[in-house]
């Protein structure tokens, strides 16, 4: 069995593309203690999360993942408020940004840490669309204030890379390196 070291409901759904034999035990780490470039955060955070859980369950396989959204070098975290979501969506409107996920898969025998990048091209968003989207509450718990899977809102023009990566777990890459 594998332990998914994540509270994310989206990661729980995505891991089912790879295995049905998993349980969820969220990691407990202080993410604010890392002061490294944004592009390095996902890999380092995934390692910290994986080891936090693996140290408690050393006979199991542990998978941890972290995802960031970066626009013009700026880390776009989870907005948590409508005002912050509005600000982020206006910044993303009509622009290209990168989504980087880092994952660590660890067992007694092996450890893999990888990062996957997907480039996301946003449509030009109207104020009306942004307000309707914020009213759903969906942006509040997502890095960059959006979920690419929210297809009823025409946010994304196209991507270069993994769709699942943008949701939060690069399943295609993970399948290639699964052990």
Q: In the numeric block, which tokens belong to residue 114?
A: 């990888």
pLDDT reading at 161 higher than 80: yes
Q: Which residue has the tokens 């626009």?
A: 71
Calculate mean pLDDT across residues 46-71.
97
- 72 flagged as catalytic: no
Confidence of residue 142 (pLDDT cuts 50, 70, 90): very high
Per the structure, the count of domains in the chain is 1
pLDDT reading at 32 higher than 80: no
pLDDT reading at 34 higher than 90: no
For all residues of the chain together, what is the average pLDDT? 95
Q: What CATH number should be reported for the domain holding residue 48?
A: 3.90.950.10
pLDDT reading at 130 higher than 80: yes
pLDDT reading at 31 higher than 90: no
Angle, to 10 degrees, between the axis of helix 127-135 and the axis of helix 82-92? 140
The whole-number pLDDT of residue 159 equals 98
pLDDT reading at 56 higher than 80: yes
The whole-number pLDDT of residue 178 equals 80
**Nearest-CA neighbor of 83 among 49, 131, 116, 16?**
131
Share of the chain above pLDDT 70, in %: 99
pLDDT tens digits for 7-30?
A: 999 999 999 999 999 999 999 998
Which residue among the candidates 21, 66, 72, 154 is catalytic per the annotation?
Answer: 66
Confidence of residue 112 (pLDDT cuts 50, 70, 90): very high
The whole-number pLDDT of residue 10 equals 93
pLDDT reading at 179 higher than 70: no
The structure's pTM equals 0.93
Show the domain range for 89.
2-177
In this structure, of 26-40, 85-99, 112-126, the range with the lowest mean pLDDT score is 26-40
Q: Give the contacts of 65 (CB within 8 A, at least 6 positions apart).
A: 6, 11, 42, 46, 49, 101, 102, 103, 104, 168, 169
Q: In the numeric block, which tokens belong to residue 110?
A: 């092996």
């Amino acid at each position: 069995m594998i332990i998914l070291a994540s509270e994310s409901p989206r990661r729980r759904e995505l891991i089912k593309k790879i295995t049905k034999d998993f349980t969820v035990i969220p990691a407990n780490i202080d993410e604010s203690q890392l002061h490294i470039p944004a592009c390095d955060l996902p890999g380092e955070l995934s390692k910290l999360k994986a080891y936090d859980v693996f140290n408690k369950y050393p006979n199991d396989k542990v998978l941890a993942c972290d995802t960031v959204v970066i626009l013009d070098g700026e880390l776009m975290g989870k907005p948590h408020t409508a005002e912050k979501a509005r600000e982020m969506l206006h910044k993303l409107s009509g622009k290209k940004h990168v989504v980087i996920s880092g994952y660590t898969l660890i067992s007694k025998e092996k450890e893999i840490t990888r990062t996957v990048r997907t480039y996301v091209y946003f449509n030009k968003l109207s104020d009306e669309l942004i307000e309707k989207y914020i009213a759903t509450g969906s942006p509040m718990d997502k890095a960059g204030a959006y979920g690419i899977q929210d297809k009823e809102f025409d946010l994304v023009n196209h991507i270069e890379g993994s769709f699942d990566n943008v949701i939060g777990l690069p399943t295609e890459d993970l399948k290639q390196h699964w052990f």
